Amino acid sequence: MRAVRLNAWKSDPVRTEIPIPEPGPGQVLIQVGGAGACHSDLHLMREFGTGSEAWEPPFTLGHENAGWVHTLGDGVRGWEPGQPVAVVGAWGCGRCARCRAGVDIYCEDPAAAPVPGGGGGLGLDGGMADYLLVPAERFLVPLPDGLDPVHAAPITDAALTPYHAIRRSLPKLTPDAIALVIGAGGLGHLGVQLLKTLTGARVVVVEPRESAGRLAARSGADLVLAPGSDTVALIRDFTSGRGVDLALDFVGSDETIATAAKSARPLGDVTIVGIAGGSFPVSFTSLPPEVSVQTTYWGTRAELVELFDLAARGLLTPEIEVFDLDDALTAYRRLEAGDVRGRAVIAPSATYSG
């Protein structure tokens, strides 16, 4: 089968041929319908390889995946070949307290997981291939009627990650609240949609690309700003001087974390989601009082099920650009050049072929 593989850190992926995997006991083979190209894959290609990683290439990329159940391993019940499914991306041990609650993202026994702190496309073979081997049927979520795999795939990460980050701040997002979204790419445009769907908060977006700024406006942003020396002042003006209740940073550079921190309202939240590697000095005076700063990683199985419900009701609509599997490297090049609107999704098959 075709596969787009990362063979070494600090290298470009390669489109190659590998054998179709055979599902063992408890495993399921998925025919891939959609695999999202996440900016994290660019971090894997460019910045990983410092020696502190829990896993190593080679592996097939693609950690936001959906498709159709193809072959069931021994003992797997309750799924039918051809059934449309999404794949929960973080693969934990399945037995610790966190995994039992569907919070595999923070598995407490990573040594017993299929791969410590990762999943398909993050240490093990992912979905940028004709087929994806899923190590346990509990990582499958059925798709609701009307949601196809290419639109479902980005929901498993590009929507799930902002949803998890927003949910933990919901008590602060009262109808008079203002939220800041920095970066309106794959995650950010869905973060804006989710803030507008779930809360009465007004949303201000900081985004340098004009096309992404327009997408943010279409997604419901009340104000879109290009980053510049006066960004914090303009954000504070928009909030009548008081600051934002939640700042979501989907970039994570020194500059964007500083913008988020300086824009926050006392008692507000600053949540760093982007992994550009920036930092910000925390001291008594560097942040407004009682501002909480946190990082978040992905989301839970229960949150993914909730998002599919929102999507089925038309309340969450990922903006996608679809690419053939043979064009996956073009999709990554365009993502790196800032030339993707919303999420690039690789579609190895358009329909289930049996």
Provide the binding-site residues for ligand NAD, judged by CB under 6 A: 38-40, 43, 157, 161, 182-188, 206-209, 212, 227, 250-252, 255-256, 273-276, 296-298, 335, 338
Residue 19 DSSP symbol:
P
> Angle 338-342-343 (CA atoms, 0-180°, nearest 5)?
90
- DSSP conformation letters of 233-262: HHHHHHTTTS-EEEEEESS--HHHHHHHHH
Residue 191 DSSP symbol:
H
Q: β-strands 28-37, 84-87: how paired? A: unpaired
- 163 versus 199: smaller Cβ distance to Zn ion: 163
CB of 227 to ligand NAD, least distance (A): 4
> Residue 275: which of Zn ion, ligand NAD, none does it interact with, CB under 5 to 8 A by kind?
ligand NAD
- DSSP conformation letters of 258-274: HHHHHHEEEEEEEEE--
Question: Which one of the spans 5-13, 150-158, 176-184, 335-343 is the region binding Zn ion (CB under 5 A)?
Answer: 150-158
Which of 135, 203, 199 is closest to 172 using CA atoms?
199
- 33 versus 121: smaller Cβ distance to Zn ion: 121
Position among 125, 130, 137, 157 found at the interface with Zn ion (CB under 5 A): 157
Q: Is 203 helix (H, G, I), strand (E, B) or coil?
A: strand
The reply to whether 38 sits near Zn ion by the rule CB under 5 A is: yes
- Give the number of other CB atoms < 10 A from CB of residue 19: 8
Can you tell me the distance from the alpha carbon of 97 to that of 60, in angstroms, rounded to the nearest whole number? 29
- 29 versus 99: smaller Cβ distance to Zn ion: 99
Can you tell me the distance from the alpha carbon of 354 to that of 352, in angstroms, rounded to the nearest whole number? 6
- 239 versus 296: smaller Cβ distance to ligand NAD: 296
> Residue 206: which of ligand NAD, Zn ion, none does it interact with, CB under 5 to 8 A by kind?
ligand NAD
> Residue 162: which of ligand NAD, Zn ion, none does it interact with, CB under 5 to 8 A by kind?
none
> Residue 92: which of ligand NAD, Zn ion, none does it interact with, CB under 5 to 8 A by kind?
Zn ion
Question: Which one of the spans 35-43, 246-254, 266-274, 342-350 is the region binding Zn ion (CB under 5 A)?
Answer: 35-43
Handedness of CA 251, 347, 86, 74 (dihedral sign): negative
Which of 303, 349, 304, 352 is closest to 326 using CA atoms?
349
CB of 20 to ligand NAD, least distance (A): 28
The reply to whether 99 sits near Zn ion by the rule CB under 5 A is: yes
CB of 175 to ligand NAD, least distance (A): 26
CB of 46 to ligand NAD, least distance (A): 11
The reply to whether 96 sits near Zn ion by the rule CB under 5 A is: yes
